[in-house]
Amino acid sequence: MAETLLAILLVTTSANGSNLVFRWPEFPMAPPRLSRARPDESLSLSRLDNPWRTSHSQEEIEKAEVLPPYDYARDQDYCWQRPNALRDRSLSFTNHPIPSRSSPSRDRSYSFEKATTPDEYDHVLGYSAEFLATLLCPQRSMCHQKFELIVDDLAFIGHPVCADPDGGWRFKPEKVKAASRTRDEPNLDNSASPHPHAEGPSSKNQESSSQEPSSASKSKWLHTFHLALVLDLPDPSSSASGNLTKYFNTLYEQIAFTLTAVLYQEQVLSNFVENECDTLIALKDSCASKGEPFSKYTSQAFAVSSIAPAMKTIFEAIKSSSMAYVNINYLPLELQLPPYLDTLLHSQDDQETDFVDPSDDDSTLTWGEHMNLGWKLPAMAPWKTLLLLDIDNEMDPHMALRGPHESADDRTLAEGLIRFLETASVTLSLSEMANLLGWDLESQVYPIVRWLVLHRRAKVVDVVHPGLKTAFTLPPKFGATLSELSAQFHETFTHPAIPSLPEILATISTSMSKQTDSHFFASVVKAKEFIPMYHDVVLWMLKRDMLITLHLRIRVVATRELKLRVKAQREYKTLAKSAGGQYDRQKYQRSSDYGEIMSPNSSGRNPSFFLSPRSAHNFAHRFSSKESRRSEISELNFDTDAPAMLRVEEETESISNSEPEVDEEDSSWDNMEQPSMINDPGKATPMQRRWLSAMSEGKELAIARRFELINQYFDGKKSDDEILYRADISRKQLREVLHHYEEYLQTFLHPS
Amino acid sequence: MPEGDSFLPRIQSVFYAVFDVRQGPKIVYQVPEDLIAVSPIAQRTLFNFNDISMYVIPPPALCGRLVTCSTKRHRIIGFPVELKGKYTRNYYRYNLCFVFDREADLSRYEPIVRKVSRVLKACEEESAFLSSPQTSPAVHAILEQLYEDLNSYSETSIAIDQFNSIELKIFPFYPNPSPVKDWMVPLALINLSKRIEDNWDLTMLKVCKYIDGVNHVSRIAYLAGCDISLTRQAISHLLYYQVIMMIDIFQFSNMYTLRKSIQWLAEEAHVEEECGPYVTKQGKRIPDWPKLLHLYSRLKPGKTVHEWMKYYDVESLGIDARRFTSFGVVKGFLRRVHRYPLYLIPDPPDSTTIPPGLEAMLDGEHPTDELSVRFEAGWPVLEQWLHSIGGSEGPGNYGRVVMIYK
């Protein structure tokens, strides 16, 4: 939803001037915006005035405090509050016309309810309707591009379009290209109809663009039309810089541009917008001349036009954060905004950073560009699954798809979708679903998943074990208060064996600390016959984001013993091979201060490599860390230490880049005494490979082979589900490896 | 916080436009010269003035408002003014506009634009500075100085006449911090004591002394002898400038859990290098990174720091558990798991030692940190109260009080 949306306006220009043809809501109102300090409620005003306090006696001060202080902090009109859907929907009063130059929002106190004056027609948001229409219809040269105008606290966003100088409406070659680019993805696009590959605006658009010169309509009077969104400019201090632009862009692309594109197409093809405006303007004039209230005009407008009800539906859908299904000239159209768009405007909550993954661009790849911002989607992967959400009967895809279909193609597609919906289950991963259906994962399953998620009928979650042996934990925040959730839960699950929601939550809370059996079945369900019942409980909680699945990640450690063993072996080998250099090397090892950092095969090389860049860096760092411990004043004295470290780090990198081989060898040998992590076993250095293979010494051959195969996934980033899928092994086989290589592996349990 | 916050967008152009009695809206001066096209055939320009002239010199309804309009690649911000008086048409309309790139964030320039317009308006009202042919050429010099100084130094001081001058400074823009709670612990990210100046706010001076990563807000207020709400304000001021961050109260009964970011932070050189020296007690040998990482991975919901220390013999490694956990929280790969007690069946308890109001707060919405601070009791005491409210059934069980960790 877009909490800032105030109104949707349709304005036109003709030779006679500009006209505000339709607006929704009927009486949009900008919330008051005050640039005053907000007093702390616990302080009375007199306490803030220190000079006054010092110049008066204690008694006088106390007397002054007795006076009933004006409670600004609680005054509804004094504070700016975040606009919300509930308040906006109940707006049904008009503004007093404000001839003065003050902001449209400042004279709010004079608004009166349901006043039937002709002003209703002529005044919107503190401006005269005609002025607003002129303002929103820019010069011809500014048409056919993004329009953005901000006046004090109101932002107007849209995409004005105009006729050619001769009054003809035809497709602009470059514009059609831009429009069809976003439409080329069937199923994905907002404007595509719910039926995959159905006859939608996209196909029509492309057809008409091919036969371009012929498909022009001549309008009688319409020069320009502009469907503009009016937004309450969000408080700039509420969000990080730059977010506002992204926010406006999303609204523009998802709503204003898409809608304008369809209207423009219909105008070109059938002079649709002009005809609609003719009807609406005539209706408005007759209503105004009869002195009927504005609401009468709007209610009649819904009956005779298709743009007016579409504007209302879109406005309400945006405010209620749902999808807008509208019909424009018998073209079905779906519009929506990303569900988490408004969080762009709120200050970043620390807890939310768990959703943001800087190293992971997958979501753009799997979901597409336009489902990236404000969707908070987990990456779509073969080992994930789909949770179908509760949907209204009205929008039930089963119902929609069982309706009459014109072509056989549509029917097969519809049947396919129904088969998919019947197969889909949280206990099956997407790849398993693909196998069951005999479908291709990328080209058949993913598009349906995308479509379902886009239409808010499903969400991507982690696979739940059929026996509910999944480890869950609780998120730091729930969507609603616990008492509300408990009440809902109590209504849904009445079986006496199911404890109350708080008790289940408490059990899940403590389950994690147990060494064994920390999963849901062992801690909550406990009996096999309850599994189906608790399945519903888990689904209920997953739908409300009340459970987080924990995933195992694995990292490899090269221990000190292992390193020394490998080193000894290698020395033994080189000793056996070359008897020549033997004496020298031993001497070096004993005499040199940096014995441990010296590579055995570096003895013949440039002496500067005796101290490798990395070890020089370590040396420097050890020194600086002592320094930092000495300072006790600051908690984390990053600002003094960090730059120095950074510089060393950069140098190290630049040197090591120029001579990669040498560094690789040297740095591997240098910290022989210290265990270290092998961060990416899949891209292990020769030395790390030696360590990895040394880990398998004395292990069972089958297990060792499996370890060799799967250790590339032990980078601390791949979840257990992913490893099982990629390596195509069973959970038991993975557990075996973990058990046998316990001393070299570290496991991490955290949400993904 | 995004780094872009301290980055100011560059002014591409500054221009001064008036409503000319004969020609209509017209640019009188612009700096740099000829960047904005006034005739349709002009080359190498930012945009054409005609496209936006209706927003630069608008009808009276828009005058006295901050107006931002956009062209394809630029954004123009101005504050159109209309003055009534003895002019040819009985009014004088002008606007001084700044031009930026389309994507620029203008929030820091808004007060600048308003102020410039306010000062010019005062000058015009006092001495017809803008409309009189004698003084109006001075506007060009003002534009030049605005363009040069604001772009180079982010501040300027332009004397206009004997009484008026334009004094501007662009301040960095930060979003408001989240509200400060009494049970939060401020942790300094810079050496605060080095920055303290005598003319600072009195509360701030007192409060700063007690910010050590251990004291929570209400304790700081108590130690500093300051009003709690003033302390909160001082702390949130420091938070606004991002020189402190908020962590939680350290108790050995705390629980922590890993966050997703451990995936990449475990490999970051700065985490690996800073961790050991920071978490180890003075004079002790610094444990290696795999060991530390292993200890982090063993922090789980339901396992207190105390239990964790005992199980992994953390004490003998010379690790300071408080610094160990706060390092993880500061770096962002560790998060505190809070206990939310919830009282299931509200019966009057037998014990009278339980402070009034505690029961009502056991609704699963208040973490134990909040309760501890509110009722001034550490976890051991609070735990006892919860035992007696719930009718204890043994250690780790609170009877009718259930504990939710999240």
In this complex, the residue of B188, B290, B406 whose CB is nearest that of residue A746 is B290
> B261: which chain A residues are within 8 Å (Cβ-Cβ)?
353-354
CB A363 within 8 A of CB A377: yes
pLDDT of residue A587: 45
Q: Which pLDDT score, from 0 to 100, does residue B182 have?
A: 92
Please tell me the least confidently modeled range out of A369-373, A562-566, A597-601, B101-105. Answer: A597-601
Q: Which of A20-34, A98-112, A657-671 has the highest mean pLDDT?
A: A20-34
Contacts of A590 (CB under 8 A, 6+ apart): none
pLDDT band at A368 (very low <50, low <70, confident <90, very high): low
Task: Pick the residue of A241, A645, A677 with the most B CBs within 10 A to test the interface with B by mutation.
Answer: A241
Q: Which amino acid is at B147?
A: Y
Say which residue, B186 or A363, is predicted with more confidence.
Answer: B186
At residue A369, the pLDDT reads 63
Q: Identify all chain B residues contacting A628, using CB atoms and an 8 Å cutoff.
A: 277-278
Give the pLDDT of residue A372: 66
| Contact criterion met (CB below 8 Å) for B358 and B390 | no
Rounded to whole angstroms, the Cα distance separating B38 from A739 reads 78
Do B68 and A240 count as a contact with CB atoms less than 8 A apart?
Answer: no
Strands (E) located in A478-564: 548-558
Complex-level ipTM beyond the 0.85 threshold: no
Residues of B in contact with A240 (CB under 8 A): 1-2, 4-5, 175
Q: Are A95 and A27 in contact (CB under 8 A)?
A: yes
* B361 in contact with A, Cβ within 8 Å: no
Mean pLDDT computed over every residue of chain A: 72
The partner residue sitting opposite B64, judged by closest CB among A101, A138, A639, is: A101
Question: Higher pLDDT residue, A551 or A74?
Answer: A551
Total CB pairs under 8 A between chain A and B: 252
pLDDT of residue A228: 93
Closest CA to A524 of A539, A513, A542, A510: A510
Identify all chain B residues contacting A152, using CB atoms and an 8 Å cutoff.
65-66
Chain B: residue nearest A233 by CA?
A: B107
CB spacing of A349 vs B178 below 8 angstroms: yes
Residue A36 has pLDDT above 60, yes or no: no
Q: What is the Cα–Cα distance from A331 to A272, expressed in whole angstroms? A: 12
Residue-wise pLDDT for A302-312, tens only, equals: 988 889 999 99
Contact between chains at A746 and B54 (C-beta distance less than 8 A): no
Q: For residues A215 and A173, is the Cβ–Cβ distance under 8 A?
A: no
Return the residue of A nearest to B178 by Cα. Answer: A347
Q: Can you tell me the distance from the alpha carbon of B401 to that of B387, in angstroms, rounded to the nearest whole number?
A: 8
User: Which residue of chain A is at minimal alpha-carbon distance from B340?
Assistant: A506
The nearest alpha carbon in chain B to A714 belongs to B263
Is it the case that residue A130 has pLDDT exceeding 50?
yes
**Within 13 Å and on the Cβ side, how many CA atoms surround A17?**
7
The DSSP letter of residue A500 is -
Average pLDDT over residues A564-575: 84
pLDDT band at A313 (very low <50, low <70, confident <90, very high): very high
Do the chains contact at B177 and A139, CB–CB below 8 Å? no
Using the Cα atoms of residue A244, residue A245, residue A246 and residue A252 in order, give the sign of their dihedral: positive
Pairwise CA distance, residues A456 & A447, whole Å: 14
Phi and psi (nearest 5°) for A94?
A: -100, 165
A81-90, B65-74, B290-299: least confidently modelled range? A81-90
- Inter-CA distances, B199 with A120, A252, B72, Å: 56, 48, 48
pLDDT number for residue B55:
93
- Amino acid A632: pLDDT: 39
Q: What is the pLDDT of residues A203-232, one digit of tens each?
A: 344 444 444 444 577 778 888 999 999 998
Give the integer Cα–Cα distance in Å for B117 and A697: 79
B66 touches chain A (CB under 8 A): yes
Check B4 against A135: CB less than 8 A apart: no
pLDDT in tens, A633-659: 334 444 444 343 434 444 444 444 444
CA A490, distance to chain mean position in Å, is 32
Which among A42, A102, A473 is the nearest to B229, CB-wise? A42
Do B2 and A240 make contact, defined as CB atoms within 8 angstroms? yes
B137 in contact with A at a CB cutoff of 8 Å? no
Per-residue DSSP letter, A538: H
Give the pLDDT of residue B100: 93
Summarised one tens digit per residue, pLDDT across range A385-412 is: 888 887 654 445 454 555 555 566 677 7
Average pLDDT over residues B313-320: 89
Evaluate whether B66 touches A152 at the Cβ level (below 8 Å). yes
- CA–CA distance, B127 with A668 (Å, rounded to integer): 78
Flag if A353 and B48 touch (Cβ within 8 Å). no
Decide if A241 and B261 are in contact by the 8 Å CB cutoff: no
Per-residue pLDDT, B22 = 87
CB-CB under 8 Å, A241 with B107: yes
Chain B interface disruption, residue of A636, A637, A672, A738, most B CBs within 10 A: A636
pLDDT of residue B50 exceeding 50, the answer is yes
Q: Per-residue pLDDT for A149 more than 80?
A: yes
Q: Do A244 and B105 touch (CB under 8 A)?
A: yes
Q: Is the pLDDT of residue B140 over 90?
A: yes
Q: Distance from A537 to chain B by nearest Cα, in Å?
A: 17
* B74: closest chain A residue by CA: A148
Q: Alpha-carbon distance A470 to A518, whole Å?
A: 8
Tell if the CB–CB gap between A347 and B178 is shorter than 8 Å: yes
The rounded distance, in Å, linking the Cα atoms of A397 and A403 is: 10
Instruction: Provide the pLDDT for residue A229.
Output: 93
- Looking at CA atoms only, how far is residue B162 from chain A in angstroms? 30
Closest-approach residue (CA) in chain B for A485: B364
**Mean pLDDT across chain B:** 87
Check whether A150 has a pLDDT greater than 80.
Answer: yes
Question: Is the CB of residue B225 less than 8 Å away from at least one CB of chain A?
Answer: no
> Are the Cβ atoms of A142 and B270 closer than 8 angstroms?
no
Residues of B in contact with A99 (CB under 8 A): none
- Report the residue of chain A nearest B329, measured CA to CA: A350
Is the Cβ pair B406, A509 closer than 8 Å? yes
Minimal Cβ distance to A748: which of B58, B71, B297: B297
A593 compared with B159, residue with greater pLDDT: B159
Residues of A in contact with B266 (CB under 8 A): 555, 677, 679, 716
How many DSSP H helices and E strands does chain B contain? Answer: 14, 16
- Which of B58, B176, B229 has its CB closest to that of A347? B176
- Percent residues over pLDDT 70 in chain A: 64
**pLDDT (0 to 100) of residue A80:** 55
pLDDT computed for residue A10 by the predictor: 92
**Can you tell me the distance from the alpha carbon of B269 to that of B287, in angstroms, rounded to the nearest whole number?**
16
Q: Which residue of B has its CA nearest to A38?
A: B233
Q: What is the pLDDT of residue A349?
A: 56
